[in-house]
Amino acid sequence: MVEENIRSATTTNQPEIKSTTAQETRPAVETPREQEREFRAAPQMNTSPLHGLWALTNRDLKKWYKNPILLFMSLIQPVVWLGLFGKALNFSSFITSSIPPTAPPGTADTILKSFFGTTSYFSFLSCGMMAFVILFTAAFGGMSVVWDRRFGFMNKALSTPVARGSVAMAKVLQSVCRALITASIVLLVAIALGMVTSSFTIQGVLGAYAVMFLIAFGLSSLFVMLAIRSSDWQTQMAIINLLNLPLLFASNALFPVKIMPSWLQTVAKLNPVSYANDAIRQLLLGSPGQFSLGLDFSVLAGFAAVLAGISIYLSWKLLTK
Amino acid sequence: MSSQESVVESRSSPNGAIVKVENLVKEFGTLKAVKGVSFEIQEGEIFGFLGPNGAGKSTTINMLTTLLKSTSGMAEICGYDIHKNPTEVRRSVGVVPQEYTADEDLTGYENILLCADLYGIPRSNSKPHAEELLALVELSDAKNRKVSTYSGGMRRRLELACGLINYPKLLFLDEPTLGLDVQTRTAVWKYIRMLKAEYHMTLFMTTHYLEEADSLCDRIAIIDHGQIVKMGTPDQLKASIGGDVIIVGVKEADPDISSDIAKISLVKDVKKKDSEYRIKAEMGEEASPQIMDLIRSKGLHVTKISLTKPTLDEAYLELTGSSLREEETNKMQMMSQRVTMMRARS
C-alpha cells in the first residue's frame, strides 16, 4: 500500500519534473549566442512587386484541393447541372419530334442549325455551361475576400510588405484556376454524355481555353473588386445573386440570342459572357458565330484588362483605410 | 560577443530612438480616435500603451504598422517615414495583432511559411527559421496540425512566431494576452522578456492589464480619450500619486496628534478620522516605526498599523477616472473582437 502510494506519487510528479527541466535546460542547449546570430542574420528578402502573389494564390487553392468534401462538391456540381439541365431541356428532340413526318428529310437539322448553329442542342448548351460554371466560380471567389477580412487574415497579409495589388490579384488568380479546372470537368463530362466532338481541333481547344481564361479573369476581377471593402457576407451574397442571373440569362449561354426580344438582344450584346460563348462555340463546334472571332477576343481581352486594372487600382486605394 | 554588440550599435540611429511619433491624429468621420500623440521609443526597451477600451491604443498601433492612414502628424519607424515608405516600415517591423489572423485551414507550419513568403524570405532560410520559431514558442509538436484544432493559447503563440519570421528589430504586440488563461499569459510574458533580453529586440505593446504593464514595460504611456495623459517608468507613475499610505489605529481618539506626526520629515500628509490616522509618507518602512515611537511617547496605544505601497492601479484610475466606458465603436471592430474572444476561449 505504502509502496503503491510512493509509486503513484512519483509517476504524477514525473511529468512536472520533466517539463521544468526541459524549460530550464533549453537556453543552455541552444546557446543564446547562436540564436542571436540566427536572429541577426536576416536573409536578403525578395523585394520584387510580385513576391507573395503565388504564395497567396496557392494558399486559397490549398484550402480547396486539401478539403476533399469541398473539392468533390465543386467538381460534382457541374456534372449535376449538365446531366439535369442539359439532358432535360432537350430542344433537339423537341424540334425533331414536332416536325411533321411529311416534311422533307433534313428539315429538323436545318431548323436546329439555324437556331443553334449545330444540330445538337446538348453541344450548344455544353459550351454555355462552361461559361456558366466560370461565372459562378468567379462570383463565389469574391466571397473569400469577405471571409479573409472577417477572420483577420486580410490584416495579416496587409501588415507584410506584399504589394496591395497582389492581395487582390491572388484572389483573382485562385478563382481563375478553380474556374478553369471546373470548366474542364464540364467539358469532359459533356463529351462523355454525347457532345459532338467531330469539329474539335487542337487550335480550337487551345483557343477555347484562352477565351475561358480571359472571361474568368475579367469576371473574377469584377467580383473581387466588388468585395474588396466588404466585410459583410450577406451584402456580398445579395450582390452575387443580383449579378449572376442577368449575366447568365441575358446572354447566349442557354438560348441563342436571335429568339430573344430585341431589348434583351441589346443587353446580351453588352454582356461579355455572350462573347465568350460565341467564341467557344465557334472554336469547338465550328458553328457560325454571331460576331467575328477577332471581335470576341478583343472584347474579352479588353474586359479582362479593364476590370483587372480597376481592381488593382482599388486595392491600392481601399485596402489601407 | 563584443563584435556582436558593435553590430547592434551601428544599427541604431544616432539618438537611439527606433520609433519617433509626432502629433499623430486619426479621425473617423467626426470621431477623433487619436488626438495628437507624440512619443519616442528607444532601442531595446519595452514600451507599453496602457489605457481603457476605446482609448486609441489599437488605432495608434494600426497607424504605426501602416494598416491605417493617419489623418495628420508624422511617425518614423526604424528610420522610415510611415507615409513615404510604408513598404519599408512593414518589412522592418513584426506585428502580432490583437485578433487571430492565422489561416484555420492550414497547419501552424504552413501558416508561418506563408508569412515568410509574404515577406519575400527565401524558402531555404524560412524553413529552418520557422522550425526555430515554432520551437521558441513551444509549438514544435503541434506544427503539423491544422490551426482550427489549436487552443486559444496555441493560436496566440503561433501569432507571436509569425510576427517574428521577418527578423524584426521592432515588434508590435496589440493586447498580447487578451482573453488568455493564466498559464498562457505567463508564457507570453516569458517570451516577451526573452525577446528583449536575448535578442535585444524593441517591443511596443498595448494592454489594459495594469499588472502586465507594470511587470513588463520599461516605460509606459497612459492613454485615454486619444491622448497620452502620462508617460514614464512604472515607478515614476506610482510615485506621481504620492508615496506610501500608512494607516494607524490608536486606542484613544483624543488628543489629536496629527500636527506632531506631520513634523516627521518623511511624512507628507496626515488625515485623522475618529481614532484612525491616514498618513501619506515616503519610504513607509522607515516612517512607520518613527510614527509608532511618536505615538507611544505621547502615552497612547497603537491598536493596528498597515502599510500600503501604491500600485499602478491607483495611478491609472487617478489619471483615467473610474467611470465605465461607452465609447462608440464600429461594427467591424466589435465583430473582430468577438471572433478573437471566441477563439481565445476555444
DSSP readout, B103-167? -TTSBHHHHHHHHHHHTT--HHHHHHHHHHHHHHTT-GGGTTSBGGG--HHHHHHHHHHHHTTT-
What is the per-residue pLDDT for A4? 44
Q: How many angstroms away from the CA of B91 is the closest CA of chain A?
A: 5
Which residues of B fall within a CB distance of 8 Å from A37?
4
Residue of B nearest to A33 (CA): B1
Taking the C-alpha atoms of residue A276 and residue A278, their distance in angstroms, rounded to an integer, is 5
Residue B118 has pLDDT above 90, yes or no: yes
User: Which residues of A touch chain B, with CB atoms under 8 Å apart?
Assistant: 27, 32-33, 35-48, 51-52, 54-56, 59, 62-63, 66-67, 150-153, 155-162, 231, 320-321
* Cell representation of residue B241: 500619486
Nearest by Cα to A19 from B197, B143, B183: B183
Residue A194 belongs to a domain: yes
CB contact under 8 A, B104 and A151: yes
Over residues B331-344, mean pLDDT: 67
**pLDDT band per the 50, 70, 90 thresholds, residue A211:** very high
User: Residue type for B221, please?
Assistant: A
In chain B, CATH 3.30.70.2470 covers 242-309
- For a pLDDT cut of 90, what percent of chain B falls above it? 36
Q: What stretch(es) of chain B map to CATH 3.40.50.300?
A: 2-238
Q: Tell me which of A34-43, B58-67, B172-181 is least confident.
A: A34-43
Say which amino acid occupies A281. Answer: R
**Which has more confidence, B239 or A208?**
A208
Q: What is the dihedral of CA A196, A202, A208, A212, to 10 degrees?
A: 120
A2 pLDDT exceeds 50?
Answer: no
Length of chain B: 346
Alpha-carbon distance of A95 to A105, in angstroms, equals 13
Look up residue B115 and give its amino acid.
C
Residues 6+ apart with CB under 8 A from B87: A161
Distance from CA of A133 to the nearest CA of B (A): 25
Quick one: average pLDDT of B186-214?
89
Contact yes or no for B280/B268 (Cβ under 8 A): yes
* A47-86 tens-digit pLDDT: 787 888 999 999 999 888 888 888 888 778 777 878 787 7
Residues A154-189 have pLDDT tens digits of 888 999 999 989 999 999 999 999 999 989 988 998
Q: Which residues of A touch B1 (CB under 8 A)?
A: 33
Return the CATH number of the domain spanning residue range B2-238.
Answer: 3.40.50.300
Q: Is the confidence at residue B137, as pLDDT, over 80?
A: yes
- Nearest-neighbour CA in chain B from A163: distance (Å): 8
Q: Which chain B residue is nearest to residue A22, measuring alpha carbons?
A: B138
Quickly state the pLDDT bin for B345 (edges 50, 70, 90): low
Looking at the domain assignment, is residue A31 inside a domain? no
- A288 vs A14, higher pLDDT: A288
Position A26 scores a pLDDT of 39
User: What CATH number is given for B242-309 in this structure?
Assistant: 3.30.70.2470
Cross-chain CB nearest to B115 (options A47, A151, A160): A160
- A114 within a domain of the structure (yes/no): yes
Number of domains in chain A: 1
Taking the CA of residue A242 and the nearest CA in chain B, the distance in Å comes to 24
- CA-CA distance, B122 to B254, in Å (whole number)? 80
Find the helix packing angle between B152-163 and B123-136, rounded to 10°.
140
Instruction: Note the maximum CA span of chain A.
Output: 107
Domain that holds residue A209: 52-318
Are residues A159 and B119, on separate chains, in Cβ contact within 8 Å? no
The ipTM (two decimal places) reads 0.76
Percent of chain A with pLDDT over 70: 87
Interface probe for A, chosen from B11, B62, B101, B162 (most Cβ of A below 10 Å), is B101
With 70 as the cut, is the pLDDT of residue B323 above it?
no
Residue A165 in domain: yes
Min distance B172 CA to chain A CA atoms (Å)? 11
pLDDT band at A314 (very low <50, low <70, confident <90, very high): very high
Nearest to A119 by CA among A87, A85, A83, A95: A95
Distance between first and last Cα of chain B = 43
Contact A248, A138 (CB under 8 A): no
**Residue among B4, B91, B122 whose CB faces A36 most closely:** B4
Cell numbers for B125, please give them: 532560410
Q: How confident is the model at residue B5 (pLDDT cuts 50, 70, 90)?
A: very low
pLDDT in tens, A255-302: 888 888 889 888 999 999 999 999 999 999 888 888 899 999 999 999
Report the DSSP pairing between strands B170-174 and B93-96: parallel
Tell me if B117 and A55 make a contact (CB, 8 A cut-off): yes
B173 band by pLDDT with thresholds 50, 70 and 90: very high
CA distances B346 to A55, B3, B208, B343, Å, are 28, 46, 22, 5
Residue of chain B with shortest Cα separation from A162 = B118
**Interchain pair B132, A161: CB under 8 A:** no
Chain B residues with CB-CB distance to A38 below 8 A: 129, 132
> Of A40, A45, A156, which has the smallest distance from its Cβ to B121's Cβ?
A45
Whether residue A28 is contained in a domain is answered as no
* pLDDT number for residue A16: 39
**What was the pLDDT predicted at A260?**
86
- Minimum mean pLDDT among B7-11, B39-43, B47-51, B164-168: which range? B7-11
pLDDT at A100: 76
Contact B46, B217 (CB under 8 A): yes
* pLDDT for B241: 65
Alpha-carbon gap: B272 to the closest alpha carbon of chain A (Å) = 51
Do residues B139 and B158 touch, judged by C-beta distance below 8 A? yes
Query: From the candidates B6, B90, B117, which should be mutated to test the interface with A, based on the most A CB atoms within 10 A?
Result: B117
- Top pLDDT among A17 and A66 is at A66
- In degrees rounded to 5, what are phi and psi of residue B322? -105, 5
Nearest CA in chain B to A146: B332
